Amino acid sequence: MTIILFDGLIYASVLAVLCVGLSLTYKITSVPNFAHTSFAILGMYMALIMSKVLGMSVYLALPVAFAASGALALFMYYGIIRILQKKKSSLISLIIATLAFDMFMIGVLNIIADGIRNTYQVNSRDFTLRSLDIVIGGDGGLPLVFIVTMVLLAGLAFGLYYLLYRTSFGMSMRGAIENESLAQTLGINTRTIFCFAWFLSGGLAGMAGVLMSMWFQGDPSLAAIMLPSIFAGSIVGGFSSVYGAILGGLLVGISEVVGTSVLIDLLGYWVIPYRPVIPFIAMIVTLLVLPGGLIQLITKYKKRKNITMKKAEEEKEGSKEEEDGVGA
């Protein structure tokens, strides 16, 4: 029972962190990044290299993975997405570009995996670093990775709130996301902001990968296996809100783990390979019932309130107001 609890909470939190990054880059670039999970797999291999190859504490891999995956995401944005967007590429070509980058990264990660095995004789496929972790209170106690994962997720939720709503950099970030050219005319270097956001979401994914490999397994194939889950989590959350993404990621993650274990009890072990059906169902149900995701429930209410306030203001001064068009 406790194992399912740890499984569910760690997996769900890791998923939530990944969904936050995916939603953040989607909000900024309007491109769903199909290579987002490969940032996490890079983090897994950073964990393997730090611990098994270099013999250091696996927790040291957290900052290293943050930097490495962040740099990779930055390269992807600055070297590929931004250039295509400057050339006014269509959304389809941008999506295909992220898919292509994903395939490229899977190749690279496989090379890394084989390189580690051949050079250092370390198992580099379906590896787990769980045995390296510290368990507080001895066998059956509290694994440190569980605490670190919870702290990371809570820190992320609070940190993002602080960044976006309490610092002028975060406010500029929200402004730049809403209206890039207005932000620029007001002196905000939107390129720096977007690069920062891509770096951050890549780096977070890298850390999520480290934590993943410390409880579950690490393997290049996870890039494809986890993709439906992080898209499902982001879609359930609304795909453009970081808080929606946390909620959606947690929900999808927990239903995957708990749902599968319930189904195993009911139907037998043969259901395990069908686990990805759960995120797909979550995705489909959300798109059918609540296309704007969970966050829509909140924004709907807020919007209604804003419209009433605006109407009141205008009635007071009797001005006629045009609806805003597009343009700077």
Could you list the residues that contact another protein (CB under 8 A)? 165, 167-169, 171-172, 174-175, 178-179, 181-190, 192, 306, 309-310, 313-314, 316-322, 324-328
Report the nearest approach of another protein to the CB of residue 207 (Å). 21
- Tell me which amino acid residue 189 is: N
Report the nearest approach of another protein to the CB of residue 318 (Å). 6
DSSP string of 167-229, one letter each residue: SHHHHHHHHHHH-HHHHHHTT--HHHHHHHHHHHHHHHHHHHHHHHHHHS-B-TTHHHHHHHH
Smaller CB distance to another protein: residue 170 or 276? 170
Smaller CB distance to another protein: residue 165 or 280? 165
DSSP helix/strand/coil, 127: strand
Smaller CB distance to another protein: residue 126 or 311? 311
Contacts of 298 by beta carbon, 8 Å cutoff, 6+ apart: none
Task: Report how far apart, in Å, the C-alpha atoms of 180 and of each of 80, 90, 148 are.
Answer: 19, 19, 36
Encoding tokens for residue 197? 């956001």
Smaller CB distance to another protein: residue 139 or 321? 321
Report the nearest approach of another protein to the CB of residue 173 (Å). 9
Per-residue b/e over 297-328, b at no fewer than 16 CB within 10 Å?
Answer: eebeeeeeeeeeeeeeeeeeeeeeeeeeeeee
CA-to-CA distance for 86 and 101, rounded, in angstroms? 18
- Tell me which amino acid residue 145 is: V
Report the nearest approach of another protein to the CB of residue 91 (Å). 18
Contact at 8 Å (CB) between 42 and 65?
A: yes
Smaller CB distance to another protein: residue 140 or 327? 327
Smaller CB distance to another protein: residue 272 or 300? 300
Report the nearest approach of another protein to the CB of residue 33 (Å). 23
Report the nearest approach of another protein to the CB of residue 85 (Å). 14
Encoding tokens for residue 142? 């509290």
Report the nearest approach of another protein to the CB of residue 305 (Å). 8
Encoding tokens for residue 246? 């946390």
Smaller CB distance to another protein: residue 172 or 260? 172
